[in-house]
A and B are shown apart, each in its own frame.
Chain A
Amino acid sequence: MSAETLSEQDWTGDFWRGVKVGLPVVVASAPFGLLFGALAVDNGFSVTEAVLMSASIYGGASQMVGLDLFGARIAPWLIVLSIFAVNFRHVLYSGAVGRRIRHWPPLQRAVGFFFLVDPQYAESEIKGGRGEAITFAWYMGMALPIYVCWVIEAGIGGTFGNLIPNPRALGLDFLLPIYFLGLVMDFRRRPFWLPVVVSSAIASVIAYKTVGSPWHVTIGAAAGIILAASMPLDKDGSNPS
């Protein structure tokens, strides 16, 4: 077997391994993709605009916040700022994942960062934490089905949104927290996991009740990150892990 066919097999195999990792995310995000489309039309967006927003911003929570504020007649620049605030955590994802994909050519990195949503980040960190290389094929195998479905769902939700008789009975409004809790638990073997989670939980709840959404994300995350960064280091200056 030549080296070329071998690497091509690696590429395909890696791509499909990525697809497999992304499938639960496709299922878990489907209700939100549909819900976003339905809510967007409800808030005065056209179906095309809903699809465009899912395709270009590609960040569920920030899209919902954008809709919500637009419906409340908030100034456009404040809406953009709020979308940025909700997605500001991606700066941190970018810094963390960037360390693992330094070997990618610049164009691949530029493409890859576009798809860096919460589960994409979480799975990349889990894979990288196991000492496995993050390949472009694996990364895009995970990203593309999630992205394509997300965009299509905005169109379907926008077109057929009014057909769901009782979204609450289906638990649609609370599936996201359950999914995010699962991701939190996945990181439980990281150093200082419990103190980080406890301090972020307390800080985010206080911020949620005082400053309000979406700042509780930034403030709560900062509490856990600062705590972890200020923990005592090992004698050799490294972080115990």
Chain B
Amino acid sequence: MSTIGWIILWGAVMTYAARVGGHLVLSRFVHVHPRVEAGLNAVPAAVLTTLVAPAAISAGPAEMIALVVAGLASLRVSLMTMFLIGAAVLIGLRQFIA
């Protein structure tokens, strides 16, 4: 098998291990400690924030404005609408800001 083939195979195995592993470990405990529970509840916001923050910091004005507008829009509209608004603002501004 080619190098790329091996990378894909092991990348897939490790990824599946991560996706099934958390459950296999946690399901051994009948009672989940409240602090673990609090930590787990914070996982989505914490992880997703790390995918946004560095991109926002290194972004230019067009990207920044698009993020702010989309963020404000998300207080009122659904995820899909918010996403389309953000994309429209971004594409529009990029025609003017290099």
Interface residues of A (CB under 8 A from B): 23-24, 27-28, 44-45, 49, 52-53, 56-59, 61-62, 66, 70, 76, 79-80, 83-84, 87-99, 102, 109-110, 113-114, 116, 118, 121-122, 125, 168-171, 174-188, 190-193, 196-197, 200-205, 208, 213, 216-217, 219-231, 233, 237-239, 241
CA distance A59 to B32 in the complex (A): 28
Chain A residue numbers with a CB within 8 Å of B52 are: 177, 180-181, 184, 201
Chain B residue numbers with a CB within 8 Å of A76 are: 3, 6-7
Structural contact, B44 and A125, CB atoms closer than 8 A: yes
CA distance A123 to B39 in the complex (A): 18
CA distance A181 to B72 in the complex (A): 11
Contact of B48 among A24, A94, A118 (CB under 8 A): A118
CA distance A205 to B39 in the complex (A): 21
Chain B: which residue is nearest A110 at the CB level? B20
Chain A residue numbers with a CB within 8 Å of B12 are: 56-57
CA distance A97 to B44 in the complex (A): 11
Structural contact, A99 and B66, CB atoms closer than 8 A: no
Chain A: which residue is nearest B69 at the CB level? A178
Chain A residue numbers with a CB within 8 Å of B26 are: 94-95, 98-99
A selection of 22 A-B contacts at a CB cut-off of 8 Å is A24-B83, A45-B4, A49-B2, A53-B11, A57-B15, A70-B4, A96-B44, A99-B32, A171-B87, A174-B66, A178-B70, A178-B90, A182-B74, A182-B79, A187-B44, A190-B41, A200-B53, A201-B49, A221-B47, A225-B43, A229-B39, A233-B34
Interface SS majority for chain B: helix
* CB contact under 8 A between A177 and B21, given known A56-B12, A238-B34: no
| Nearest CB of chain A from residue B14's CB, rounded to whole Å | 4
Structural contact, A186 and B79, CB atoms closer than 8 A: yes
CB proximity to A under 8 Å, residues B1-42:
2-12, 14-27, 32, 34-42
Structural contact, B54 and A204, CB atoms closer than 8 A: yes
Structural contact, A197 and B83, CB atoms closer than 8 A: no
Contact of B40 among A66, A79, A95, A216 (CB under 8 A): A95
Over the window 48-67 of chain B, the binary record of Cβ atoms lying under 8 Å from chain A Cβ atoms (1 yes, 0 no) is: 11111111110100010011
* CB contact under 8 A between A200 and B94, given known A177-B55, A181-B71, A181-B74: no
Chain A residue numbers with a CB within 8 Å of B63 are: 174, 177
Chain B: which residue is nearest A97 at the CB level? B23
Structural contact, A185 and B75, CB atoms closer than 8 A: yes
* CB contact under 8 A between A220 and B42, given known A62-B11, A169-B91: no
| Nearest CB of chain B from residue A2's CB, rounded to whole Å | 35
